[in-house]
Amino acid sequence: MTMTPRERCLSLSRIAVFILAAWMPLQGWAAQATPLPDWSGVWQRRGSGEAKASATGGGPAKVGERSLPPYNAEWQKKFDANAELVKQDRFPDPLSFCGIPVGYPRVVNLPDSYEFVVRPEQVWILTENGPNLMRIYTDGRSHPPADLLWPTYTGDSVGHWEGDTLVFDTISIKNDGDTIFDRNGTVFSDRIQVVTRIRLTAPDTLTADLTVTDPGALTEPYKIVRQFRRIEAGARVYDYACRENNRNPIDASGKTLTLGTDGRVIDIAK
């Protein structure tokens, strides 16, 4: 029995579909209904890292024009005290100490470059500054049970994909003093929980929408929008060893000092 050219073509197509159907699950592709987005390359934060000090309220924020958090009375006092320290240039920032991870959500508010590594089972946010690593599980797992959970700088993040949007929940964030978000004095309590949604909103623009809930410090959820632009193709990410030559130590009062090459303070005491 001979096949017509059309029958031969159909037969070959069926064989190809069968082979592909048997092979794809082995590659782990079947678990992801839609292809994972391309977040490759090197990225940098858009705009300033600080909220506008003149803004009030905690409503939805525009990129670069984030409003200040809706603090309860106790934490408003803390923020006001921090604002005073900012004026005196003595507000502590973990970024300045060299060696302490900045934690979450500060990880999305850093200078220097970023990488967003998308894998089927995890997403990693790698920051050049620090460096810092944020690990987000997307393999379907839940947060650990309470007896396996203790506060850490980046907390515990589990997430999933809603089409091309990464959605993840972060809990158990370590609170040394307070969790700071920027140098304006924005702080959160140890009851902070963050839901983050990240997606490409333009070919070279990643937008992160954060909803911060914190019954310890906030009267309502606080929304933060951060954007990142993809820089030129082929850009490298460089070493950032903050302890290499830190000539700006912080003294006990929170003041940033300047050291000469001999290690002596060159500031003129006032």
Partner 1 sequence: MLNSLRSLALLAVLSTAYAGAVSAHHSTGMFDQAKTIKLVGTVKQFQWTNPHSWIQLDVANAEGVKEEWSIEGNSPNQLIRLGWRPGTLKPGDTVTVLVKPMRDGAKGGMFVEITLADGTVLKQYDR
Applying CB under 8 A, which residues contact partner 1? 48, 89, 91, 93, 95-96, 98, 111-113, 128-129, 183, 231, 235, 237-242, 244-248, 250, 256, 258-261, 266-268, 270
**6-42 CB burial, b ≥16 within 10 A, e <16:** eeeeeeeeeeeeeeeeeeeeeeeeeeeeeeebebebb
Question: Between 36 and 231, whose beta carbon lies closer to partner 1?
Answer: 231
Q: Which of 22, 38, 18, 41 is nearest to 30 (CA)?
A: 22
* Rg of the chain (C-alpha set): 24
Cβ of residue 245: shortest distance to partner 1, in angstroms? 4
Cβ 185 to partner 1 shortest distance, Å: 12
DSSP letters for 173-217: B--SS-EE-STT--EE-TT-EEEEEEEEEETTEEEEEEEEE-TTT
**How far apart are CB 77 and partner 1 at their closest, in Å?**
22
Q: Which is nearer to partner 1, 87 or 135 (CB)?
A: 87
d(CA 168, CA 178): 22
Pick 91 or 116: Cβ nearer partner 1: 91
CA distance 21 to 35: 16
The least distance separating partner 1 from the CB of residue 197, rounded to whole angstroms, comes to 27
Q: Amino acid identity of 132?
A: N
Nearer to partner 1, 147 or 244 (CB): 244
Q: Under DSSP, is residue 249 helix (H, G, I), strand (E, B) or coil? A: coil
Query: Would you say 120 and 28 are in contact if contact means Cβ atoms under 8 Å apart?
Result: yes
- Residue 89 or 121: the one with the smaller Cβ distance to partner 1 is 89
Q: Where are the beta strands (DSSP E) in 128-164?
A: 132-137, 156-162
- In the complex, the smallest distance separating the C-beta of residue 231 from partner 1, rounded to whole angstroms, is 8
Least Å distance, CB 178 to partner 1, is 17
Cβ proximity to partner 1: between 10 and 241 the closer is 241
Q: Which is nearer to partner 1, 35 or 260 (CB)?
A: 260
Nearest to 118 by CA among 130, 136, 105, 132: 136
Quote the least distance from Cβ 181 to partner 1, whole Å. Answer: 15
